Chains A and B, each alone.
Chain A
């Protein structure tokens, strides 16, 4: 396929610049807080306090890169288990903890919140919340974490509520209803705080919902704005739907967005259109499904969008974490970029100021499209009925957090390779609250053959024909693979990179890994005995660096031995 390479003079050396300006008028809006509180200014400059982990993705640019370097290639093999937190739930452990000045805040599956001593694992308090039995998440009762502002934590619940908690006492401050679970809506993401608002998006793309992203006042819980991810009548983009398909067109937003304070834009990935597998029921491009949208965080107004998979027949949600990097343009200016490894199997480089497509290429084998045109639109090549489409329904990647390292200039993603599905679309009438799939993803190997799904037990007995996993390092200057480390099983783990050129990740086999970020060389392998499905993160307490990773139903925290 053609490769669209950025002019070398524009991207000869990619570095991340972090000079966030605080608008004085914005500061005036903030409540008076004590120094220990997590102010918006601290969130803006999260990279400057790497001993903490203040947002789901570690900072507004979402690169999951820590400046901590106490653990490095020469001593990573010495890591020892410091403590373990065992969840009282058997649901998948997908949350990334927050750490603020020695206190860890963690969601215990599904919607309990725990405050722990980040050095010892001792529990300060536990807030218990049981979602309504009306909740009907498509793909597991999961939660991915919390947001914090000042002394308030924000929790989005499976049954559609947003709850503010006192971070000191663990008591609720307010609760507001974001979505109706009986209609198939759910909240599984970690919220995102920007200025004086807390922002959440809904899940439910398998139920014929009409997706939206909401902002609420951090103090009162009152709704500030709503952005419907499917434009209504009279709005631009509505013409990409026919008849009433827009009303049940899905387009959820179930992963946390990113934020550029200089442009004052927040970026959110939008999920699949519905019914998932039968595009004949929804002719048109189906905006803003499978897109990234850039929104004004004060008003929710759309600044721009870029659609990855128009009229998607494969459930290629585009909810992946938008990774924001800055690069010198060679003329004294700065390229403001967004990196995106999409569930559809393609890696994209976008201009995050305008949404313009700059470059892209597939990072896993694909056959649903022969490539991307000059505008980044896929040249679709639908496969004949009864044959296998790559990637399959779980995609080339999914919600597993990627990472970007300014030290190596590389982007890292957890991928499912050579994994396919036979898509069988079928006409389906929508019924509120009922699954609205419009067909099924048939097993390409016929009845009874093992293929990867979302679940992982103790036994892996599928074969290479069913696909495998990999960590892939991509050079954003060329969109080409720099190295890859294959795995027998597929992987659902997020990725963390460090200033010492380490890459921490895991896999569904229960292995926790440290790789060399420049080469992919394996430096550490520990068997934790359960699927790793969250993003490893790092923090420091009393001059000791810790790395936390969830496996199975427990959170494992490692550090170097005391000297």
Chain B
């Protein structure tokens, strides 16, 4: 029995097939519990941020730096449930280097969500260059800042990178630099909307429902559009960003990567 490919006037259609996916952005901040074994994307992202700020020093980005402990397995001998894992993180492990932690309930939820899904992340080691040189390349030769916004500076028509180092792994970012289209997350696909008068709007999608879509257009204005009023609505799956190696050498890519990983956002 085939898996149907549905099309609908109410659904945003893609121009080409979906590329491989990496870490996404967004998600809900609801407080209710999801199905056990499933973790809300917002919680996972919050957990990545907390892990990188609090845990990575001992456990490393790959989660296997402590002898006999591999966090990527998602199963832990001292904690057989999410509640037990939260209690362990909060309590610490006496007579080991694992200290007690004063995390809130929401923070513990995020950490557990990330730990349980850590194996899904690309945690390969990659070469990092010089952060300062990377910043110079970002605003200069690489021309990254001509599209991307960081800490309130730059245009809003490409993903804001202000906290990209807190929510993406080095390997994820490296892959995005080398293959922007192939690794572009569906959530980051710009949309192209043609109004009834022929006006073309392009820009990042902010939200969508059955009847409407919200986006930032090329003039950096918030637009809310009724789908039934549009002549055309598509998601663009080819990234406007060229591969970094088109303009940067290997060392320069490593430098930009180091700079991106230094971007941790306001918090």
Q: Which residues of A contact B (CB under 8 A)?
A: 1, 90-92, 137-141, 206, 276-277, 362, 365-367, 370-371, 390, 393-394, 417-418, 426, 431, 434-435, 437, 439-443, 445-450, 453-465, 468, 486-489, 507, 509-511, 525
Contacting pair B210 A487 (CB below 8 A): yes
The smallest C-beta distance from B126 to any residue of chain A, in angstroms, reads 17
Q: In the complex, which residues 195-228 of chain B have their Cβ closer than 8 Å to any Cβ of chain A?
A: 205-211
B41 interface neighbour in A441, A448, A458, Cβ under 8 Å: A448
Asked if residues A1 and B1 are in contact (CB atoms below 8 Å), the reply is yes
Q: How far is the CA of A465 from the CA of B30 in the complex (A)?
A: 23
A447 touches B38 (CB 8 A): no
Closest A residue to B205 by beta carbon equals: A461
Contacts of B116 in A (CB 8 A): 440
Number of A-B contacts defined by CB within 8 Å: 182
A–B pairs, 15, beta carbons within 8 Å: A139-B35, A390-B3, A393-B37, A418-B5, A439-B37, A448-B21, A455-B28, A455-B30, A459-B28, A459-B207, A461-B24, A464-B11, A486-B8, A487-B210, A510-B209
Q: What A residues does B75 contact at CB under 8 A?
A: 426
Q: A277-B37, A418-B5, A453-B35 are in contact. List 13 more A-B contacts (CB 8 A).
A: A137-B33, A206-B37, A365-B3, A365-B4, A393-B38, A434-B81, A450-B41, A453-B34, A454-B38, A461-B25, A463-B12, A463-B187, A486-B8
Given A448-B24, A463-B189, A488-B12, A454 and B35 contact (CB-CB distance below 8 Å) = yes
Chain B interface residues toward A at CB < 8 A = 1-6, 8, 10-14, 18, 20-38, 40-42, 44-45, 74-75, 80-82, 116-117, 120-122, 185-187, 189, 205-211, 235
CA distance A92 to B35 in the complex (A): 13
Q: Which of A366, A449, A456, A459 contacts B185 (CB 8 A)?
A: A449
Q: Are A445 and B21 in contact (CB under 8 A)?
A: yes
User: Are B120 and A442 in touch, CB under 8 angstroms?
Assistant: yes
Residue of A nearest to B42 (CB): A457
Known contacts A449-B187, A457-B30, A486-B8; A525/B211 CB under 8 A: yes
> Given A457-B29, A458-B207, A460-B208, does the pair A365, B2 have CB atoms closer than 8 Å?
yes
A450-B26 in contact given A138-B36, A140-B33, A460-B208 (Cβ < 8 Å): yes
Which residue on B lies nearest to A92, using beta carbons?
B32
| Structural contact, B14 and A464, CB atoms closer than 8 A | yes
Asked, given contacts A435-B37, A453-B35, whether A362 binds B1 with beta carbons under 8 Å apart, the answer is yes
**How close is A271's CB to chain B, nearest CB, in angstroms?**
13
Cα distance, A137 to B189, chains bound together (Å): 37
- Note all chain A residues with C-beta closer than 8 A to B13: 464
Whether B37 pairs with A441 at a CB distance below 8 angstroms is: yes
Contacts of A139 in B (CB 8 A): 33-36
> Within 8 Å CB of A463, what residues of B?
12, 14, 18, 186-187, 189, 235
Among A393, A440, A450, A488, point to the contact of B209 (Cβ < 8 A).
A488
Measured between alpha carbons, how far is A317 from B62 in the docked complex, in Å?
Answer: 37
Tell me whether B22 and A486 are in contact (CB under 8 A): no
B21, B42, B75 — which one has the most chain A CB atoms within 10 A of its CB?
B21
**In the bound complex, CA of A124 to CA of B5 (Å):** 51
- Inter-subunit contact A446/B22 (CB<8 Å): yes
A456 and B3 contact, Cβ closer than 8 Å, known pairs A450-B24, A463-B235: no
In the complex, which residues of chain B have a beta carbon less than 8 angstroms from the beta carbon of A511?
209-211
Q: Across the interface, do B1 and A367 meet the contact criterion of CB distance under 8 Å?
A: yes
What residues of chain A lie closer than 8 Å to B14, measured between beta carbons?
Answer: 463-465
A557 to B209, CA, bound (A): 23
The complex places the Cα of A141 from the Cα of B211 at a distance, in Å, of: 31
Q: Is the CB of A461 within 8 A of B121?
A: no
Residues of A within 8 A of B187 (CB): 449-450, 461-463
| A-B pairs, 9 with minimum CB distance | A457-B28, A448-B23, A447-B120, A509-B209, A463-B186, A486-B8, A447-B121, A445-B21, A365-B3
Residues of B within 8 A of A468 (CB): 6, 8, 11
A437 vs B37: C-alpha distance when bound (angstroms): 7
The complex places the Cα of A140 from the Cα of B30 at a distance, in Å, of 11
Complex: chain A residue closest to B25, CB-CB:
A461
Is B40 a contact partner of A455 (Cβ separation < 8 A)? Answer: yes
User: In the bound complex, what is the Cα–Cα distance between A509 and B209 (angstroms)?
Assistant: 6
For the complex formed, measure the closest distance between the CB of A95 and the CB atoms of chain B, giving whole angstroms.
15
Whether B211 contacts A448 by the Cβ 8 Å rule is no
Which of A448, A449, A461 is B208 in contact with, Cβ under 8 Å? A461
- With contacts A366-B1, A418-B6 known, is A488 near B30, CB below 8 A? no
Measured in the bound complex, the distance between the Cα atoms of B40 and A92 in whole Å is: 16
Query: Which residues on the B side are within 8 Å of A417 (C-beta)?
Result: 4, 6
Q: How far is the CA of A511 from the CA of B27 in the complex (A)?
A: 19
Residue in B3, B82, B189, B208 whose CB lies within 8 Å of A367? B3
Give the distance in Å from the alpha carbon of A441 to the alpha carbon of B74 in the complex: 13
Q: Chain A residues with Cβ under 8 A from B81's Cβ?
A: 434-435
Query: What are the residues of chain B within 8 A of A446 when measuring CB–CB?
Result: 20-22, 120
Q: By the criterion CB–CB under 8 Å, are B6 and A437 in contact?
A: no
- Residues from chain A with a CB closer than 8 A to the CB of B211 are 511, 525
Which of B23, B31, B35, B209 meets A394, CB within 8 Å? Answer: B35
Bound CA–CA A453/B187 (angstroms): 16
| Cβ contact within 8 Å between A435 and B32 | no
Chain A residues within 8 Å of B210, by CB? 486-489, 507, 509, 511
| Residues on the B chain within 8 Å of A447, using CB | 22-23, 44, 117, 120-122
Option from B10, B21, B45, B185 in Cβ contact (under 8 Å) with A486: B10
A448 touching B1, Cβ below 8 Å: no
Say yes or no: A453 contacts B40, CB within 8 Å. Answer: yes
- Measured CB to CB, the closest approach of chain A to B12, in angstroms, equals 6
Contacts of B34 in A (CB 8 A): 139-140, 453-455
Q: Which residues of A contact B33 (CB under 8 A)?
A: 137-141
Instruction: Tell me the smallest distance from the CB of A384 to a CB of chain B, in Å.
Output: 15
CA distance A442 to B13 in the complex (A): 25
Of B29, B45, B189, B207, the residue contacting A460 (CB under 8 A) is: B207
Residue of B nearest to A435 (CB): B36
Contacts of A461 in B (CB 8 A): 24-27, 187, 205-208
User: Bound complex: CA of A450 vs CA of B44, how far in Å?
Assistant: 11
CB distance from B183 to the nearest CB of A (A): 11
- Complexed CA–CA distance, A175 and B47 (Å): 42
A453 closest partner in B (C-beta): B34
Closest to B27 in A: A450
- Within the complex, the shortest CB–CB distance from A81 to chain B, in Å, comes to 20
A472 to chain B, nearest CB (A): 12
Q: For residue B186, which residue of chain A has the nearest CB?
A: A463
Cα of A430 to Cα of B144 in the assembled complex, Å: 52
Q: Which residues of A contact B28 (CB under 8 A)?
A: 455-459
